Amino acid sequence: MQLYIGGLSEGITEDEVTTFFSKIGTVERVRVIKDISGKSRGFAIVRMPNNAEGEEAIKKLNGLMLAGRRVQIGRMHETLPGEMEFREWLRDNAHQVLEKVGVSSGQTVLDFGCGPGLFSIASAIIVGHRGKVYALDVHPDALEHLRKAASRKGLDNIETMLLDRSTVSIELDNDTVDVVLLYDVLQEIPDKLGLLKELHRILKRGGLLSVFPMHLGTDKFLTMINPLGLFQFRERYGPPELQSASEVINFTK
Ligand SMILES: C[S@@+](CC[C@H](N)C(=O)[O-])C[C@H]1O[C@@H](n2cnc3c(N)ncnc32)[C@H](O)[C@@H]1O
């Protein structure tokens, strides 16, 4: 089982995290996620081979102190090799990546599964006051966080939309969006093909679908989207030095 531990101190080591979880059971691997300067980002990924011990770790260790910090522990989706590093790189380079992907001034962007809005905010800055960003999520708290962050930055071109998990339908007209961002979210959508069809409906002809298929991997995602015949593959994008199982993949309608 793969677990997430958050709330860690900047100087935390993998050995300290391993010792903490070893009180409960066998720890196969610990990876403290770091920024480019080598400082911990405050969280780590822990793999415990025995699921029962993983569940026990969540029950017994969540909320305890480690190296002077109260930690949060939860279950997380399995990640592919290099994927977390790619995700962190994407987060550090959101603005540049979106520009490279093709987001530009005056466009309408839809960020599906926007979470707290890292990519919505970066898009809103790029599209400017002549453009618009629709930020969609099923979590009201994430959208509230995003609205506050946008207001602190003086951005008034983001419209949040609270979705219902039971449907993939989006209340926008056909052919109205220039760019759809689908970053690190498909793994949470049961009706993936239904969602891709809905995104195709709202995209303008020639519009861009940009996907970061975290947890699925590029190959699995391409096998899913290609037979649909709705989108034309345009390019894959990622820094070669990361050699990640995942990338940003762009398609046009
Ligand atoms: C791992 S987060 C990624 C957030 C953001 N895209 C990013 O990369 O920083 C996945 C997000 O998808 C949202 N989500 C899950 N199911 C969804 C659904 N059916 N419709 C819209 N958003 C959904 C979750 O609430 C969560 O905010």
- Is residue 121 a part of any domain in this protein? yes
- Which CATH number fits the domain that encloses residue 92? 3.40.50.150
Kindly report the number of other CB atoms within 10 A of residue 234's CB atom. Answer: 15
pLDDT: which is higher, 38 or 91: 91
Same domain for 237 and 174: yes
Structure tokens at 88: 């962190």
Whole-number Å distance, alpha carbon 116 to ligand 1 midpoint, is 9
Q: What is the pLDDT of residues 161-214, one digit of tens each?
A: 999 999 999 999 999 999 999 999 999 999 999 999 999 999 999 999 999 999
Asked whether the beta carbons of 33 and 84 are under 8 A apart, the reply is yes
For the chain, give the mean pLDDT. Answer: 93
In whole angstroms, give the CA distance from residue 117 to residue 99: 17
- Is residue 81 a part of any domain in this protein? no
Whole-number Å distance, alpha carbon 141 to ligand 1 midpoint, is 12
Percent of the chain whose pLDDT exceeds 70: 97
Ligand 1 proximity of 42 Cβ (cutoff 6 Å): no
- Is residue 82 a part of any domain in this protein? no
Helix axes 94-101, 118-127, angle to 10 degrees: 60
Same domain for 233 and 183: yes
From 53, 76, 99, give the residue that closes a domain: 76
The pLDDT score that the predictor gives to residue 246 is 79
The pLDDT score that the predictor gives to residue 82 is 80
Taking residues 37-46, report their average pLDDT: 84
Ligand 1 proximity of 114 Cβ (cutoff 6 Å): yes
The pLDDT score that the predictor gives to residue 36 is 61
Same domain for 181 and 67: no
Same domain for 163 and 38: no
The pLDDT score that the predictor gives to residue 132 is 98
Residue 154 neighbours by CB under 8 Å, 6+ apart: none
In whole angstroms, give the CA distance from residue 32 to residue 8: 9
Same domain for 163 and 192: yes
Backbone phi and psi for residue 129, each to the nearest 5 degrees, phi listed first: -70, -15
From 19, 41, 76, give the residue that closes a domain: 76
Of 147, 216, 139, 144, the residue nearest 183 (C-alpha)? 216
**Number of separate domains in the chain:** 2
Confidence of residue 146 (pLDDT cuts 50, 70, 90): very high
Confidence of residue 40 (pLDDT cuts 50, 70, 90): confident
Same domain for 230 and 208: yes
Whole-number Å distance, alpha carbon 114 to ligand 1 midpoint, is 6
The pLDDT score that the predictor gives to residue 21 is 97
Q: What is the pLDDT of residues 219-237, one digit of tens each?
A: 889 999 999 999 999 998 8
pTM above 0.95, yes or no: no
Same domain for 233 and 195: yes
Tell whether the model's pLDDT for residue 244 goes beyond 90. Answer: no
Of 159, 210, 199, the residue nearest 176 (C-alpha)? 199
From 45, 76, 107, give the residue that closes a domain: 76
The β-bridge partners of 235 are 250
Q: Which domain range does residue 13 map to?
A: 2-76
In this structure, the dihedral spanned by the alpha carbons of residues 131, 136, 140 and 143, taken in order and rounded to 10 degrees, is: -30
Backbone phi and psi for residue 131, each to the nearest 5 degrees, phi listed first: -105, -175
- Is residue 94 a part of any domain in this protein? yes
In whole angstroms, give the CA distance from residue 124 to residue 5: 31
- Is residue 246 a part of any domain in this protein? yes
Q: What is the pLDDT of residues 92-123, one digit of tens each?
A: 899 999 999 999 999 999 999 999 999 999 99
- Is residue 176 a part of any domain in this protein? yes
pLDDT: which is higher, 159 or 85: 159
- Which CATH number fits the domain that encloses residue 7? 3.30.70.330
Residue 137 neighbours by CB under 8 Å, 6+ apart: 113, 114, 115, 143, 160, 162, 163
- CA gyration radius for the chain? 19
Helix segments in 79-191, DSSP class H: 83-92, 94-101, 118-127, 140-152
Ligand 1 proximity of 185 Cβ (cutoff 6 Å): yes
Ligand 1 proximity of 113 Cβ (cutoff 6 Å): yes
Same domain for 126 and 93: yes
In this structure, the dihedral spanned by the alpha carbons of residues 176, 140, 86 and 53, taken in order and rounded to 10 degrees, is: -140
Confidence of residue 10 (pLDDT cuts 50, 70, 90): confident
Tell whether the model's pLDDT for residue 243 goes beyond 80. Answer: no
- Is residue 33 a part of any domain in this protein? yes
- What beta strand segments (E) does 36-101 contain? 40-47, 65-66, 69-70, 72-75
Confidence of residue 6 (pLDDT cuts 50, 70, 90): very high
Same domain for 37 and 143: no
- Is residue 237 a part of any domain in this protein? yes
Same domain for 65 and 188: no
Same domain for 15 and 67: yes
In whole angstroms, give the CA distance from residue 31 to residue 12: 11
Give the DSSP per-residue string, 1-14.
-EEEEES--TT--H
The identity of residue 152, as a single letter, is R
The ligand 1 atom at the shortest distance from the C-alpha of residue 214 is 1
The identity of residue 179, as a single letter, is V
Taking residues 14-24, report their average pLDDT: 96
Tell whether the model's pLDDT for residue 23 goes beyond 70. Answer: yes
Same domain for 143 and 111: yes
